[in-house]
Amino acid sequence: MKADLHNHTIHFDGAYSVSEVINRAKEKGLSMIAITDHDNLDSYYDYLKIKDDLDIDVLIGVELSTWHEKENVHILGYFYNNSNIGEELLIFLKNMRIKRVNRAKKMISNLKKYYDIDVDYDAVTSYTKDIIARPHIARYIAEKYGLSVQEVFDKYLSSKSKAYVPSSNTTSKDAIDLLHRNNAIAVWAHPVLNKGKFNELDIIKMGIDGIEGIYPENTKEDTEHYRCLAKQYDLLMTAGSDFHDDYSHSDIGTCYIEDEDIDRFVKKLKLK
């Protein structure tokens, strides 16, 4: 058995529909997949339409953007039964949708103000089914100005850019507690991206349930380090390819957990 627990769809900044992501996972030989779009659970409603025809376990989770020590930390939330999601979390996600619209408009304004780059908000909306995010703005700029998406991020949309606007002011601790109160387990997403920026024990002591210790950008030493951490602090060891599309991040099934790690994950999930 293999499980890839971090993937995205068109309901945020991914390129593929829920059914396309699931079919791709099956082609890669996965037995379980999690869809974890940023700040929304809209994939769940697409999943409901096809769930009876699936021969693969599918979890619908969420990825929350949070802050710790002035650094962006992503927290993954997983639910055993999506019908039991707490109302508090649903309200939080609804508010996040509004904040992301305002954020996109502010960044577009900043791009004009600081870099004289014109971005048509309505045109950017054509790149997404739901929430506008930086990748959608980057794609528009790349196509209009003849740049690569990576160049746009590096020059204009990184956290160091004058145009950048944070997506959330939620602390990592508040996000973990929110997920726990609303029947979810909380996993620290791609800790390797936070490596050396703060004491990793800070996040562990906040009550995190697991750590995404297998990730495309890990070195072999990174993965071994996170497995040791998971064992030492009795954390779930998870894996995620962070699939978005065909040109960024990694393909579905690039990273996965197996057998014992899956059993521990599902057992913990069922307790929620």
Q: What is the model's pLDDT at position 157?
A: 95
Query: Is residue 168 scored above 90 in pLDDT?
Result: no
Query: Is residue 131 scored above 80 in pLDDT?
Result: no
* Confidence band for 124, pLDDT divided at 50, 70 and 90: very high
Q: What is the model's pLDDT at position 245?
A: 87
CA-CA distance, 73 to 66, in Å (whole number)?
Answer: 5
CA-CA distance, 219 to 85, in Å (whole number)?
Answer: 35
Pair 80, 209: CB distance under 8 Å:
no
Q: What is the model's pLDDT at position 81?
A: 72
Q: Using one digit for the tens of pLDDT, what is the confidence trace for 35-65? A: 999 999 999 999 999 998 899 999 999 999 9
CA-CA distance, 240 to 257, in Å (whole number)?
Answer: 9
222-234 mean pLDDT: 98
Residue linked to tokens 């995205």 = 8
Percentage of the chain with pLDDT > 70? Answer: 100
Q: What is the model's pLDDT at position 38?
A: 93
Among the listed residues 121, 106, 100, 248, the one whose alpha carbon sits nearest the alpha carbon of residue 163 = 106
Q: What is the model's pLDDT at position 109?
A: 97
Q: What global pTM score does this model have?
A: 0.92
User: Helix, strand or coil for residue 117?
Assistant: coil
Domain boundaries, the chain: 2-92+167-271, 93-157
Number of other CB atoms surrounding residue 155 within 10 Å = 14
Strands 185-188 and 210-214: parallel
Query: Is residue 162 scored above 90 in pLDDT?
Result: yes
* Distances from the Cα of 36 to the Cα of 18, 122, 156, 240, angstroms: 11, 26, 26, 10
105-121 mean pLDDT: 97
CA-CA distance, 13 to 60, in Å (whole number)?
Answer: 16
Q: What is the model's pLDDT at position 193?
A: 97
In the sheet that 57-60 helps form, which strands lie side by side, from edge to edge?
57-60, 32-35, 2-4, 257-258
- φ, ψ for residue 244, nearest 5 deg: -125, -50
Beta bridge partners of residue 74, listed in sequence order: 65
Q: How high is the mean pLDDT of the chain?
A: 94
Query: Is residue 248 scored above 80 in pLDDT?
Result: no
Strands 71-78 and 236-239: unpaired
* DSSP assignment of 217-228: T--HHHHHHHHH
Percentage of the chain with pLDDT > 90? Answer: 83
* Confidence band for 229, pLDDT divided at 50, 70 and 90: very high
| CATH code 1.20.1740.10 for 2-92+167-271 | no
* Confidence band for 247, pLDDT divided at 50, 70 and 90: confident
